[in-house]
Structure formats: structure tokens, C-alpha cells
Amino acid sequence: MPPFRLRTLLLSLFVVYMCGNATTLACEMENSTSEEGTGSLLNANIKWPVQRVVSIEGDLVLGGMFNIHERSDAYTCGKVLEQSGVQAMEAMLYTVDMVNNDHTILPNITIGVHILDSCDRDTVGLEQAVDFIRGSMNIVGGSRYKCEDGSVPTVDYKKIVGVVGCSSSVTSIQVANLLKLFTLPQISYWSTSPELSIKKRFPYFSRTVPSDEFQARAIMDIVTTFNWTYISVVYEDSNYGQQGLSQLKAEAERRGICIYLALKFPRDSQMASSECFNDIMKDLGSKDTVRVVIVYGTDQDAAELMRAAKRANTAGRYVWIGSDGWSSRQSPAQGQEDELEGAITIQPMAQEIDGFDEYFASLNPATHRRDPWLTELWEEHFQCKWPGSRLTPFNYHFDSINKTCDTNVSINVHTGYKQDGQLQFIVNAVLAFAHALDDVHRTYCKNVSGLCQEMKKVTGRELLEFIRNVSFTGITGQKFKFSAVGDGPPRYKILNYQQISDGVYEYVPVGSYSEGLDVNVSMIRFRLDNESYPDSFCSKDCGIGEMKSLQNEASCCWICIPCQKYHILVDEFTCEECEQGKIPDEFKRQCLNVSLHYLQHSSPWAIAPMTFSIFGIVSTTVILSIFIHNAETPVVKASGRELSYVLFAGIYCCFFMTFVLISKPSKFVCGLQQVGVGFCFSMCYTALLTKTNRIARIFNRAKRSAKRPSYISPKSQLLITLGLVGVQILISAILLFTAPPIAKPDFPSREQGQLVCSAVLDGSFMIGLAYPIALFILCTFYAFKTRKIPEAFNEAKFIGFTMYTICIIWLAFVPIYYTTASNIEVRTATICFTISMSAAVTLACIFLPKVHIIVLHPEKNVKLRRMTCARRQSFYSLQGTSETTATELALARRRSKMNMCPNCGAPIPLAVAKSLVDKAMKSKEKEERNAAAGGRNRRAVKFKMPIDGENAVASSSSRRNPLGTTVRKRGAFRSRRFTPPESSTVENKESIEDAAPPTVEIDIARTPEKSKEEAQVTSPEEGSEKQPLSVEIETETEPGKPEVPKSSPPHDSPLASSVHEEQEVSVCMELSTAGPSGSGSSTTTEEVIANHHPPVEPDSETEDDTQTNCVATNNTAPKDKDYRMALQEEIKFAPEEESGFPLEEKSDINCTPELSHIIQEATC
């Protein structure tokens, strides 16, 4: 059987039993009343308690149950209670009188009362509640019972329409279980247990006070306001105390407040002893830091606890927080004011009842006969015995000392009276019944005055519906209405028990609670001499960044442990590390994003590289402007304009990359960085690589073959350069597709963040630089390989200087770059400087020497047709000018220290030397004859070169005749050219470029007056006329005076080989087109001729009978035609004589002192 049904059955049996003894109870009440005034009796003969009842007749009767007496461990009922007992009961009587006197409510209907005493015990209350249902069991309103002795009882049981009560929750629960069996509505005025809100269990229970659920919230709001974190709870072992503790625990857990001790004392059916409260005080003292104690109980319980606190001498140590069970009551403070001072109590919002103080002061046991407990109140209040009153366990000692009460005094504010603060709820309970009955009357009786028959038939269930829907304005002016579950509105008053003045204490309102706490903290005072409240804690609050570590699971005490550096407090007991890119705030409560830094344009680390780049851009622009302005000059042409412009573009790009690298990283900027750096370097290094590779191939080929290397023309070189750059573009496109550039944060340390491009982090940036690095290495290799070429080709050396310097720059950059990874400003500035310095070195080493010639030495910016084969004057370093005489040849030959050209290794044929000696001696004799005759000195020299392509090469790919005419090989074809001096004037240049190469005739005429030589270069091509090339050179030779042999020209003269000169073609193979310090190449006249004219077979016959054939004296040389050299030079001195001789390949000259002397003394 379910417990609920079992309890209902037991209650029903109990009711039947009680009803069967109804006559006996009525007789006992009568007999007890008749015993009053019997005089002094022994304590053993005292009958206590005396069962009394307040019964007032009326058309409708309301039951009432109050705690007229307190609980006692010695008796069923203890002393009479003034505030919660007699004042509460009188408040009901006062309200009933007010309703009966109000003709607007229940006209012509009076309300009677049937009030009983529960003695603050649930068992007594249940027994007394049987009286409320007797009338319901006897439908006849005036049924009477007879006593056993035949006397008629004085109690006439009438039907009760409703019950006002009870005071305590535990008693209300018992009574509600009984009343619901008979559908009897019940309205409580002080019962606050949340359990009573369960309508399935207590359908007929209502109350004018709110549930303890809201009281627990109000109490914990107060605890939170004062930052109390460690508290204790003392509660009565009843439904009221247990439910209150449960609500407190829930609220405390939600707010992080710990309950140190929860101590209970007996409540339901027995009175807690003094020893029990002494033990409670002893337990509370076990923790010195716990200073706040919440007390859930009645005013009697609170009073006993205060007495135990006084015995423990704990005044001023604890802060007591009282529930509505004893809030604003005077009994806990009587005699214990010092212990209770500073207490904060909670009570439902109520106001004093106007007029009740006067009403209560008018009461007197002699005149107010309807209150049977008024005499006991008088005796307890004035500590005397009322004349003729019945002896009780509490007044018999007054009788023994003959202390009789003054019947003329009254209980008022002057004699220690204070109205109970919760009487308003009793008044509202009575008014709720009254207004509900009035609504019933208006509904069923219509306009019929008085109690109609229809109204008598109304059941308790119907009346309950009217009660729940009632709404009225209370006696205090406040609007009242039950909640959906029949509770009163959740309104509380916050009181503070203060010492107003010396020895004067009272409850002072300091705030309220409705939807939230509204308290004036400045009004709350702990003690008169110390207004501030003490702290209540187990352990002090941890500092910033410290977590709590519980000492054990059952305790709320902790020790404080600091969180690690980059951790935050997730809650009071847990530290959690911030994720990468976040750091804790100063309170270590939340993780904040690390600020991402990047190089700002206003930073000195950005201003310096930008300034350097701007200077580089301006310098590059100036140099480029000079080159464009002098685009048709030999220096610019010789530098290779096409590759120079590509190199200029790469240098510009490098300088502009500084601004891209300094810009704030974004998807677009990162893409430019990923592609731009590699592209810029590729443009620079491909141009330089093409230059160095071309020179290296020419010289390497010249050592093996006379064949001209392929792909060395400017167009080919430009196409090669663009192709190499295209590879870089392809690589960049692949990188952009496979690894799209984005700006992402990087965190070198936990507290430092920087915004960088993803290419720097994932390594794709270095992949894009791999190709330029390979180009750089190859370029450096070729620059090193060509370091020993003739000085006429010194651009390769400058390229080498560029590569070596850039290599040093990057070797210094790499460690700086990787050691500054945590400093984005220094790192970015470093790479900007490195790129700009690389561009600046390239600009300075490659272009500044040319600008130096163009701007400062324009006289050197001329077209010189010469070939340089040695660093010092040698036989093959003579310039092919009209001033190149036999004397100069002899002097040059004498200065030569070896039989081979010291730079190119070409052999000096012996036959050539002997021929020159003979020619010089004959020329000298002729000069003497002419000088003696004083005649005109005119000479004519003809060079005629038959060519044999198969036997043309000795150890070099070309030869130079004594006057500077160059024999060049193009495969099986040779050409020769004439190099005029710097001051020469070229007339009809096209005639040279269109001339056929087989035979070149040079006519040189000299007049003594002017020493002016004219040279005519003609081609004997069929159908063409001789077109002269005039070369005029003025000398200081006097007429008729033989020329003085010229000394070697200065090293920097147009006739000398310059150490700064670079040739773009192979030594003794290609033709230079630039003056001193010139570099590069352009298409020459000889290249045009070589590419358009077939070789010509050498002449087999001499042109003159007087021709002398000089054969080499080297008898070991083969005599066959294939072994002899293909080149024959015929030197004719017209018109007097002409001579020619074949050149033996391996006939080397032995430079003896005699031969050197002869050559030195020779004159033309």
C-alpha cells in the first residue's frame, strides 16, 4: 500500500477514535475551567496543561490554531507566548470583529471562531485539529453531546468553513493532511516550507507568506553582499528546517559559498535540551574563521541558542542571520541582547496593524473574558499571580511569595509591549476567508441578505476556488493575491538588530527583497563600537592568477596555487593554458589575442631601407638616362644595350622590392613578395650569366678551333636571357597555384606575434629563390673562369667583382636573417638592405666605369679598330695605323722578350722578322736619298693576302701583319681589316662594309710639308671602283727631314692597349669596336663581310718579277704545300720595288741583340 494511502487510513482511524471520545474531551475542558480559583495547591497536584478554547458563535465559523504556549521538555505545553501566541490569536479576533462590523462584507452574516492551542507541537496540533472536523462529521449544525455523569457539555460543535493556521510548517503539514480528507480549506500565516507548495499533496493548503525558496535566495544574497564565503547553519530537525537547509545548500553551491557545519537540534515532538545547544556552540567554535551562522527555527529555538551563546561567552564573535521563524521577535533577545546584537533577520514583508496597539492595551483579564489565556499572559509579563487564577507550573512560586498582579495596569508600550511584526499575515488570512465567503454569497445568494440555503450547500472544494481567486486590499493598504500555487507574494523585509543607544536595542529595517535584494549597506551595523562586519572564511581568497586546491573533498578549505605563466583561471579550482597566439590578461581571467606586429612605414627600421632604395632608384634612373642619351656612342653599343636594359630592369625591381617587403602583409602583398624577389634576381643574374657565358665560350672555343661560337649575337643573347627569366616565371606560377600566398600570424614567443606571409613560414619563399641562387652560382663560376682573359675584355672581371661582393653580402645576410626571426622589424630591414645592396653593387660595378668614360672622358668614347694581345707593348700589340712604321715594328720587336705572344700565345714567324729587317734597311737608304734630294717623300704600300683555309692556323685563330691588318678566320674563310687611329676621319664607310675581303690595298702618301698621310683602302672586286678611305694624321716632321723613330706610345694613348679595355670577342679572332674601357659588342663591318662573302683561293703567282720569296730557314719543316701556311703577304714598295714571301707556320723568331738593333735603327 502506498505510504500516502496508509497515512490517510491511519488519520481516518485516528479521527474516528477522537470523535468517540469527544464527550470526554468536552467534559475535561469544563472541569478544568471550573478548577480555576481553587487556591494554592501542591505542585504535584497541578493539572497541566489545561485544555482551553476560544469559541465565538457566528453564522459561519472559522477555525484557528496558534502556538499559545511554547514547547517544554517537562510539560506538554510550556509558558505562554506573548507575541507569537496571544498577540497572534488576538489579531485574529481583532480582524473578525472588524469584518463583522463592516456591512459591505457578508451583510447580515456574522463570522464566529473556534481557536485552539497547538503548544508548538505537531502532535498536539493534530489532536486539536479533530475539533475542526467534528462539525463536518455531524451535518446537523447544533448537535449536542452528553457527558458520562449526565451533565450537558458547554461546547456546541458547528460546521467549520475553514481553518486559519498553523504557525509552524511541521504542524501545518500534519493538519493539512487531516483537513484535506474533509475538503476543508486551510490558510497558514507563518508556515513557509517549500513542501507545502506541492498541491498534489496539499491541495487545500494556502498561505499568506511566501515559500522558503525565496527566503533562501534573500539570505544568500545578503551573504554574497558581505563577501562571506564560509558559513555554518543551525536548523531545527523538522520539515521547516530541513527544507530550509536544502534550499540554502542549493543557493550556496550556485554562488560558490561553502557551508562549514550544518548542525540540527530536535524539534518535532520533543524540546531540545540546553546541553544540545551547548554542544552546538562548542562545534561552532571549532573553526575560528567561521563567523556567520544562519539559524532556521522558531523564536523559542533562537532564544535557547542565544542563551547557550551567552553561556559560552561569545558575544561579538558571531553574526547571526535569522529566518522568518524568529525574525523581529523579542524572545530571543530577552536577556541576550549583547549576544544577538548585529544580527540580520529575514521576515516576509509586513507592516504594523494600525489600531492594534490600542486594542491590545485595552485588554484586561478582568474585563476581556473571551481570551482564556490572557490571565497567563498577565502573570508571565508582570511576573506575578493574578488573583484567583489557577495554579500552573509557572505561577505557583508567585503564590508562595504572595506576589499578586495589579489588575489596574495594562500591557502597552510603556510596560514592555511591542507588536509582533508578522501579525499582518494573520489579518490577511482572515480577510482572505472573509472576501472569499463574500464572493460566494454574492454568487449563490444574489441579493438575498444573510446566509441563504444555497450558500450552506457550498463545499470546501468550491470555496477553495474562490479563495485562490480572491484579491483585496489589506488592512495595511497593500494589495494581496495568492500565487498560482496558493502562496503569498515573495516580499521580504531585511532587519538589523542594533543597539540604538546604551542598553536600548531594536530591529531596524535596512532593506527589502522582492525580485532581488535591495539593502542599504551603510545602515547595517555590527556593533555599536564596531560597525564593520567580520569576515567569514576558511581560507583567504587567492590572489590574481592563483587557483584553489581543496584540502579534501568534504571541506571547502583550500590552499592557493599560482597558475603557470600562460594559464588562466577557468574557475576557482582550474587553470588552463591559453592557446597559441593568446596570453592571459592582467587578472588571468581570459585569454587575449597577442598583438600582431609588422614593420610600420614610420619605423626607423623602415625609413632606413626605404631611403637607401630611393637613392638607388634615383641613381639607376640617372645612369639609365645617360645610357639612353648616349645610346649611339661606342661605349653604350659595346656594352650590349639589350642585356644592359634587362639588367637595368632587374636593378629597378630589386630597389622597388623594398617597398613591397615593408608593406603590411596581405594576400596581394604576400603574392608580390613570393614572386617579386625571385623574379628580380632572375633578371639580374640571367643577364650577367649570359654575358659571362658568352665570353667563356668564345675563349674556350678559340683554344680548340677557329670556328666562331654559336649564339653570341645580341639577338641570341637577349632570347637566351628572356628564356631563363621565363623559367623563373613558370616556377613562380606553380608556387602561386600550389601554395597560395596568405598573411598569417607567427609567434616567435608566447608574448610576441608578428604578421608574416605564409611563404616565409612554409619554406615556399626559399623554393622561389632556389632558381636565382642557381643562376648566381653559375654566374659566379663563369666570372671566376674568365678572370685571366686580356684586359681588353675586363667586363668579365667587373662581373666577377659583382658576384664576389654579392656573395659576401648574402653570406652576411643569412645568419642575420635567421637570428632575427623573433624581430620582424630587424628581419625585414635586413632583407631589404640585402636586396638593395645587391642591386647597388651590380649598378656600381657594371655601369659606373662606362658612365665614367661617357661623362668624364668623352675623348675615349670612340670607335677603335684594334686587337690587343698583350699587357705590354709587343709585336702583336701595335695599332694598325698609318703611323705604324718599320721603326716602330723594330722597336716593338726589340721589346718583346719571347718568341711567342705573351698573352694569346701566337708564334712570331722568322721570315716575317727577316723581311721586316730588309724592308727597313732599304727604306732607310731611300729616306736618305730623298732627304738629300729634298724631294717629295711618298710611299705606297700594298698588302695582298692570298688565303688558304686549310693551312691557316698555327696556335691562334688570327694573325696581324706588320702594319696592323688583321687576318680573321670564319670557318674556312679569312678576312682582314684595317684599324684607323682615333683621330681618323672615315669617308664613305659603306665602301668598307661592302668590300670584298680577298685583297686589301692600302696607299699611304706623305708630304714633307705637312707630314700628312692618306690611306686608300680598295677592293679589287669586279665591277667595283676603288673607294678611298682617307686617314689624315698630322705630325711635326719638317719637310725634307727624315722621320724620327717613334717611341712606344703611352699606355693610355689611343695607340696603346688599355688595361681597362674589354673585348667582346675572342683574342686575335674578334674585332673590337670600342675605345678604352669599352665593353660589349655590336655587329661589326668585318662580321657583315664574313657572313656574306665566300673565301677566295690564294694567288699562286706574284704580281711582279722583282718579287722576292723569303723562305723560312727552319729546314725541319715539311716542304709540302699542305703544311705551309695559307697566308702569304706581299709587301710591295711601288713603284721602285715590291717583294713577297710565304710565312712558315713553325718558323719562330729568335730575338738576338743584333736583330733587335737592326729593327730599332730601321726607318721607313
Say whether pLDDT at 114 is over 50: yes
One domain for residues 305 and 177: no
Say whether pLDDT at 942 is over 50: no
pLDDT in tens, 1087-1141: 333 333 333 333 333 333 333 333 333 333 333 333 333 333 333 333 333 333 3
Q: What pLDDT does residue 1006 have?
A: 38
Q: What pLDDT does residue 440 have?
A: 94
Say whether pLDDT at 1071 is over 50: no
Per-residue b or e along 1009-1045, where b marks 16 or more CB atoms closer than 10 Å to that residue's CB: eebbbbbbbbbeeeeeeebebbbebeeebeeeebbeb
One domain for residues 386 and 509: no
CB 36 within 8 A of CB 89: no
| Structural domain contains residue 1128 | yes
| Structural domain contains residue 292 | yes
Say whether pLDDT at 173 is over 60: yes
| Structural domain contains residue 846 | yes
| Structural domain contains residue 27 | no
| Structural domain contains residue 599 | no
Q: How far apart are CA 878 and CA 896, in angstroms?
A: 12
Question: Which one of 175-179, 777-781, 958-962 scores highest in mean pLDDT?
Answer: 175-179
One domain for residues 342 and 285: yes
Instruction: Report helix, strand and coil shares of the chain as percent, to nearest 5.
Output: 40, 15, 45
pLDDT in tens, 726-750: 898 898 888 888 888 888 888 888 8
pLDDT in tens, 41-80: 345 456 677 778 899 999 999 999 999 998 877 777 888 9
Three-state DSSP state, 1120? coil
1021 CB-near residues (< 8 Å, 6+ apart): 995, 996
CA-CA distances (angstroms) from residue 694 to 785, 865, 968, 1068, 1070?
A: 12, 21, 19, 16, 13
**409, 438, 463 — which closes off a domain?**
409
One domain for residues 804 and 734: yes
Q: How far apart are CA 448 and CA 239, in angstroms?
A: 45
One domain for residues 587 and 714: no
Q: How far apart are CA 1032 and CA 157, in angstroms?
A: 164
One domain for residues 399 and 314: no
Enter the C-alpha cell of residue 1098.
690564294
649 CB-near residues (< 8 Å, 6+ apart): 683
User: Scanning the structure block, which residue is given the C-alpha cell 492595551?
Assistant: 361
pLDDT in tens, 494-522: 999 999 888 889 999 999 998 889 999 98
Helices (H), 879-909: 886-895
| Structural domain contains residue 531 | no
451 CB-near residues (< 8 Å, 6+ apart): 59, 60, 109, 441, 445
One domain for residues 1081 and 1023: yes
Crossing angle between the packed helical segments 22-34 and 3-20, to the nearest 10 degrees:
60
Q: How far apart are CA 511 and CA 525, in angstroms?
A: 13
Q: How far apart are CA 1135 and CA 1133, in angstroms?
A: 6
pLDDT in tens, 194-204: 899 999 999 99
pLDDT in tens, 679-710: 898 888 888 888 888 877 777 766 666 567 77
| Structural domain contains residue 264 | yes
CATH of the domain at 555: 2.10.50.30
Instruction: Provide the pLDDT confidence category of residue 271 given band limits of 50, 70 and 90.
Output: low
Q: What global pTM score does this model have? A: 0.50
Q: How far apart are CA 686 and CA 568, in angstroms?
A: 56
Q: What is the mean pLDDT of the chain?
A: 72
CATH of the domain at 691: 1.20.1070.10
pLDDT in tens, 1036-1051: 334 444 444 433 333 3
Q: What pLDDT does residue 914 have?
A: 54
One domain for residues 563 and 616: no
One domain for residues 690 and 809: yes
Tell me which residue of 668, 598, 616, 623 sits closest to 835, measured CA to CA.
616
Q: Which domain holds residue 394?
A: 368-409
**593, 620, 648 — which closes off a domain?**
593
Q: Percent of the chain, pLDDT > 90?
A: 24
Beta strands in 897-1056 (DSSP E): 940-944, 958-960, 966-970, 973-977, 999-1006, 1013-1018
CB 1147 within 8 A of CB 1112: yes
Tally the domains of the chain.
6
* Burial of residue 483, with CB atoms counted within 10 A of its CB: 0-12 exposed, 13-18 middle, 19 or more buried: middle
One domain for residues 231 and 328: yes
One domain for residues 186 and 86: yes
Say whether pLDDT at 149 is over 60: no
One domain for residues 147 and 105: yes
pLDDT in tens, 367-417: 888 889 998 898 888 888 888 888 888 877 776 677 888 888 889 888 889
Q: How far apart are CA 559 and CA 550, in angstroms?
A: 7
CB atoms within 10 A of CB 970: 21
| Structural domain contains residue 12 | no
